[in-house]
Amino acid sequence: MSFHQRLQDVWQTQNSLVCVGIDPELEKLPAHLRAEKEPYLDFGIRIVDATAPYVCAFKPQAAHFAAAGAEQQLAKLIGYIQDRYPLIPVILDAKRGDVGSTAKLYAKEAFERYGADAVTVNPYLGHESLAPYLQYADRGVIVLCRTSNPGSDWIQGIQAGGKPLYLSVAQQVCEWDENDQCMLVTGATYPEEIGQVRACVGAMPLLVPGIGAQGGEVEAVLQAGLDTNQAGLCISSSRGIIYAGSGADFAERAAGAAKQLRDQINDARLSRGATA
């Protein structure tokens, strides 16, 4: 099964376009978890179990684990998700970008060491930096295109051949995507650009960070980015969900935030003619 087909299945079965980012920081964890032997794993499992009914993907952030020496906790968390919730893909948010043997090892790290279903990558070293990931034909390769951060325009917005560079990236990734495995990262903070990317790539799925804490608005993202089936998006929220509560009921609070976002998205989709 291609990664695109996996997404189509999970969108339909879960009736959700919500992706929950798992970005743990020790000082932000509930106090009762901080002294645990594997606090990031314990926190992640509770978040996953609470929010799984409302999501189409989970997106653990590699640096949040690696900076704390918690790579093994990351691997265990990914394994837990895949064992308990095999329908829901795990996106390793690593934003890797390198060439040659190093790129091959980064791909091996993502797909073999961690067993991720997809990984985020940086395209700015060209096709040779993406080729090792594309060789894992059943895994997702999620390419940075028009990112949500305010400083991204200095390179992504440069005019190249009469169009901004991010559209050249989108067009090129479409040409490289021979196995229906690629997605593009398009930030919710730039809805007009999401629309331009959608027009360029057709039905290719988009990963959309920037909802909530970064200021992106659901309605604008849906208007610009939904495909002809009223899907095609993984709308990612991290802090707004995983830190919705800080006490003993943090997981229940996270579940409530995930459900609220899912319902907000689905209400807007229904108003546009989507089938629940």
| Domain of residue 102, CATH code | 3.20.20.70
Specify whether the CB–CB gap between 132 and 97 falls below 8 A: no
Q: Which residues of 106-122 are buried (b: 16+ CB within 10 A; e: fewer)?
A: bbebbbeebebbbbbbb
Which residues constitute the domain of residue 255? 3-271
Q: What is the pLDDT of residue 213?
A: 62
The verdict on residue 59 lying in a domain is yes
Instruction: Report d(CA 180, CA 232) in Å as an integer.
Output: 13
pTM of the model: 0.96
Q: What is the pLDDT of residue 197?
A: 98
Instruction: Give the up-direction half-sphere exposure of residue 250: CA atoms within 13 A in the CB hemisphere.
Output: 21
The verdict on residue 89 lying in a domain is yes
The verdict on residue 126 lying in a domain is yes
Active site residue 37: no
The two structure tokens encoding residue 252: 């229940």
Question: In 3D, which of 75, 52, 44 has the Cα closest to residue 250?
Answer: 44
Q: What is the pLDDT of residue 214?
A: 63
Q: What is the pLDDT of residue 189?
A: 93
The verdict on residue 75 lying in a domain is yes
Tell me how crowded residue 162 is: count the other CB atoms within 10 A of its CB: 7
Instruction: Report d(CA 62, CA 22) in Å as an integer.
Output: 9
**Along the 276 residues of the chain, how does pLDDT read in single tens digits?**
999 999 999 999 999 999 999 999 999 999 999 999 999 999 999 999 999 999 999 999 999 999 999 999 999 999 999 999 999 999 999 999 999 999 999 999 999 999 999 999 999 999 999 999 999 999 999 999 999 998 999 999 999 889 999 999 999 999 999 999 999 999 999 999 999 999 999 999 999 998 866 667 999 999 999 999 999 999 999 999 999 999 999 999 999 999 999 999 999 998 876 443
The verdict on residue 134 lying in a domain is yes
The verdict on residue 145 lying in a domain is yes
The verdict on residue 276 lying in a domain is no
Catalytic residue (one of 28, 37, 59, 95)? 95
Q: Hey, what amino acid is at 47?
A: I
Instruction: Report d(CA 90, CA 22) in Å as an integer.
Output: 11
| Count of domains observed in the chain | 1
Tell me how crowded residue 227 is: count the other CB atoms within 10 A of its CB: 15
